[in-house]
Amino acid sequence: MLKNEYPDLLTLDGFDEAIIGVVERIGIQAICYDTVKVIEILKRDMDEDMAWLWFDMNIAKAWVGESSPFFLHRGS
């Protein structure tokens, strides 16, 4: 599991199954999450519209430093 290989990187509690990898940019590493999987997890507790709103306002826009997680929006 990536969390064990990169213990210093920040992770989202309860979203381990949405982790898809680690990204790097100019020496900065961060955990990368699949956005659709994050939404699926949120939908366990709320409807889809609320899940997207919650994600946008409370997860995607949360800055917790240089190792803030990334979110991949896969193309169709």
Q: What is the pTM of this model?
A: 0.87
Q: What pLDDT sits at residue 67? A: 81
By the 8 A CB rule, do 33 and 55 touch?
A: no
User: In a structure prediction context, what are the per-residue pLDDT tens digits for the chain, which is 76 residues long?
Assistant: 677 888 889 899 999 999 999 999 888 899 999 999 999 999 999 999 999 999 999 999 888 888 889 999 987 6
C-alpha torsion angle, residues 9, 71, 28, 5 (rounded to 10): 40
Q: What pLDDT sits at residue 21? A: 94
